[in-house]
Amino acid sequence: MNPLLSLFLRAVLGVAGGAVTILPRRIELRLGAAIGSGARRLDRKRRPIAEENMRRCLPELSPEERAALLRENYAHYGTLALEILHLFSPFRGHYAAYVRRNYQLHGYEHWKKAHDRGRGVLFISAHLANWEFMVAGPAQQGVAPLTMATRHLKPEWLHRKIVGTRKSCGVRSTYGARVMGVVAKALKNGESVGFVLDQYESSQAAVPSRFFTATVATLGIVGVLALRFKPAVIPVRQERGPDGVIHITIEPEIDYSTLPQTPAALTQEFVSRVEGWIRRRPQEWLWVHRRFKNAVWDSINHQPGPPQTTGSVLC
């Protein structure tokens, strides 16, 4: 990134982080929805991607229903943007306290039962509602040690800031070439590690899987780790309540011993869980993400649309 642009971005995020720190939650929710509505009208780059993804993935919806879903989806983005800005608050301890005030954990007993067996826990999740809450909340409520597998962000100061804020909530981060080693060590020590499985994966760790009406590359490392270390694999989903509270639900662990013992088969089972969550709460997923790069679509949905070949990856 251009040094001047990087400096400007750093200053803007610092000011915005300070501003949201003093913003009452009820106002934050209303303002976020308004920001999202404005963004939908102005967004000429990402909105067509969201519209195309919705059309292909949810062909059962009418054009009017998809338009309504798009409005809800962008309102969600506005609220999410303000919530993420709290990561940049200049006040020590603010983010951890902010998360504690605005989330509820359900299903703690499922993690505790699996954790006590001492073979480690692999959480699988998705970019629903607020995925930062998904790790920051439970980590403060006893789901620990907890490591989040993520990506190295640029510029470096941005990466350090976000990783540092996560750490203040008790969340470790691992990324890049060291992921496999860090995760393997954590599982051997009986710890918990989280992965999101709703992104396009371009590395050698990718396996093809069915996701909505397409076959598309998906991160296959979770299946590899499950077969090698035999940890508990536990789905964890999140959704935003009408009052803005983020509900984190730890589901019962998946019995994958009855599935074909291949990374592809396990990945498909895990991804199918994620798809079910998105169908349940489509307004809270990242439809603007280019999830379907190089996808093979069902013939009924394989119609011309904007190519999904490049784009940033959120984590």
Q: So where are the chain's domains?
A: 3-297
Q: Residue 175's pLDDT is what?
A: 92
Q: Residue 308's pLDDT is what?
A: 53
pLDDT above 70 (res 304): no
pLDDT above 80 (res 299): no
pLDDT above 90 (res 25): yes
pLDDT above 90 (res 300): no
d(CA 44, CA 36): 14
d(CA 206, CA 198): 12
Closest CA to 219 of 242, 196, 240, 235: 196
Cβ contacts of 288 within 8 Å, gap of 6 or more: 43, 46, 47, 49, 50, 77
d(CA 199, CA 183): 19
pLDDT above 50 (res 309): no
Mean pLDDT of the chain: 93
pLDDT above 80 (res 38): yes
Q: Residue 1's pLDDT is what?
A: 79
pLDDT above 90 (res 314): no
Contact in structure between 85 and 13 (CB atoms under 8 Å): yes
Helix residue spans in 141-220 (DSSP H): 156-168, 179-188
Backbone angles phi, psi at 29, to 5 degrees: -65, -45
Q: Please give the single-letter amino acid code of residue 15.
A: V
Contact in structure between 229 and 120 (CB atoms under 8 Å): yes
pLDDT above 80 (res 315): no
Over residues 207-212, mean pLDDT: 96
pLDDT above 70 (res 72): yes
d(CA 266, CA 1): 38
